[in-house]
């Protein structure tokens, strides 16, 4: 199914890892679903998984830790060329490959726990949210049994909150997100990467519930911090900007002039997302849909105002 989803995009291409169109052993076709352009980024899921496995194994053998290890681990879900996260069924396929690689280890093994998170994120990318919730609940119970650190527990709860929102349980998601954000902020401060991501997730949930004032305030608080920590073109920063503008355009008290400015900013954000993430990335698609909906609503208001002016 993963190869079929990418079939139109991959015609006539070869894997950048093994340089073949068909995998020599599995005979599988090519995928992409990252932010690469042109002829870059095509690969077999098996090649991507094997490359990630080797990089992580080398890190373990050489006792690498911290940022150096993390840069290798993210190859389970990030493209080695464009450095952006895979999305859709490709992320899901890599998530399963990651889980199968480490599932045989003791249940308290760190990489086994990491692989559960990677699989969970992959299931989310493929909109398999009921399956994801079951996985996350199992992971949380395992973490409690293994007495992992507080930060890891909060991160796991943050993933559960995202899953609840995706399942339509917005109130439950907000309640849990508030706890996670507060806990992470107290533990790490508001400039830590995990805290920023928690702030983004909470702001997005508040916006989804129609609590636009709170969503705007929280997104506005974290936008400059995210720009400083992640960079202005990072997907988390773009996500915060998108959440802020979505809430801004849905604010019932916004003036017409401010609405026009917000819609113009949405256009700018969409162009940036296309440049950085590509046209198929979920955030780019969301920016396009939000911009078109806001422009349509604004055009209807302008048309109504014109009719009223003619009637005078």
Cβ 133 vs Cβ 163: under 8 Å: yes
Q: Which of residues 179 and 24 earns the better pLDDT score?
A: 179
* Predicted confidence (pLDDT) at residue 3 exceeds the cutoff of 80: no
DSSP 75: G
- The whole-angstrom separation of Cα 255 and Cα 248 is 10
For residue 79 the two structure tokens come to 């493209």
- The whole-angstrom separation of Cα 248 and Cα 50 is 44
* Predicted confidence (pLDDT) at residue 221 exceeds the cutoff of 90: yes
Q: Which residue has the tokens 């990677």?
A: 118
Residue 311 sits at φ, ψ, to 5 deg, of: -75, -15
What residues contact 100, with CB distance under 8 A and at least 6 apart?
A: none
Residue 85 sits at φ, ψ, to 5 deg, of: -70, 140
Please tell me the predicted confidence (pLDDT) of residue 254: 87
Cβ 229 vs Cβ 196: under 8 Å: yes
For residue 42 the two structure tokens come to 């095509």
Please tell me the predicted confidence (pLDDT) of residue 6: 74
Q: Find the largest Cα–Cα distance for the chain.
A: 80
pLDDT tens-place string over residues 267-312: 999 999 999 999 999 999 999 999 999 899 888 887 877 776 666 5
pLDDT tens-place string over residues 209-218: 999 999 999 9
* CA nearest to 273, candidates 282, 264, 261: 282
- The whole-angstrom separation of Cα 256 and Cα 44 is 50
pLDDT tens-place string over residues 40-54: 999 999 999 999 999
**Average pLDDT rounded to a whole number, residues 5-28:** 88
pLDDT-derived band at 190, boundaries 50, 70, 90: very high
């Amino acid at each position: 199914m993963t190869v079929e989803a990418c079939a139109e995009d991959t015609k006539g291409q070869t894997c950048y890892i093994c340089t073949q169109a068909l995998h020599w052993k599995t005979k599988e076709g090519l995928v992409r679903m990252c932010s690469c352009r042109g002829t870059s980024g095509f690969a077999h899921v098996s090649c991507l998984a094997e490359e990630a496995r080797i990089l992580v194994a080398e890190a373990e053998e050489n006792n690498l830790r911290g940022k150096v290890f993390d840069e290798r681990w993210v190859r389970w879900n990030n493209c080695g060329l464009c450095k952006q996260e895979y999305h859709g069924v490709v992320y899901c396929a890599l998530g399963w490959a990651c889980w199968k690689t480490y599932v045989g280890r003791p249940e308290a093994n760190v990489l086994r726990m990491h692989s559960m998170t990677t699989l969970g994120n992959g299931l989310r990318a493929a909109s398999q949210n009921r399956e994801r919730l079951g996985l996350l609940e199992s992971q949380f119970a395992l973490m409690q049994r293994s007495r992992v650190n507080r930060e890891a527990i909060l991160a796991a709860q943050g993933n559960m909150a995202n899953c609840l929102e995706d399942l339509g349980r917005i109130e439950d998601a907000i309640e849990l997100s508030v706890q996670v954000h507060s806990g992470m902020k107290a533990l790490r401060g508001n400039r830590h990467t995990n805290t920023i991501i928690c702030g983004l997730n909470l702001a997005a949930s508040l916006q989804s519930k129609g609590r636009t004032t709170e969503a705007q305030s929280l997104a506005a608080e974290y936008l400059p911090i995210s720009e400083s920590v992640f960079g202005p073109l990072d997907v988390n920063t773009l996500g915060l900007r998108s959440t802020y503008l979505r809430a801004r355009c849905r604010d019932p008290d916004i003036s017409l002039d401010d609405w026009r400015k917000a819609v113009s900013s949405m256009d700018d954000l969409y162009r940036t997302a296309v440049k950085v993430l590509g046209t198929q990335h979920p955030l780019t698609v969301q920016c396009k849909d939000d911009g078109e909906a806001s422009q349509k609503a604004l055009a209807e208001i302008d048309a109504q105002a014109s009719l009223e002016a003619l009637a005078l």
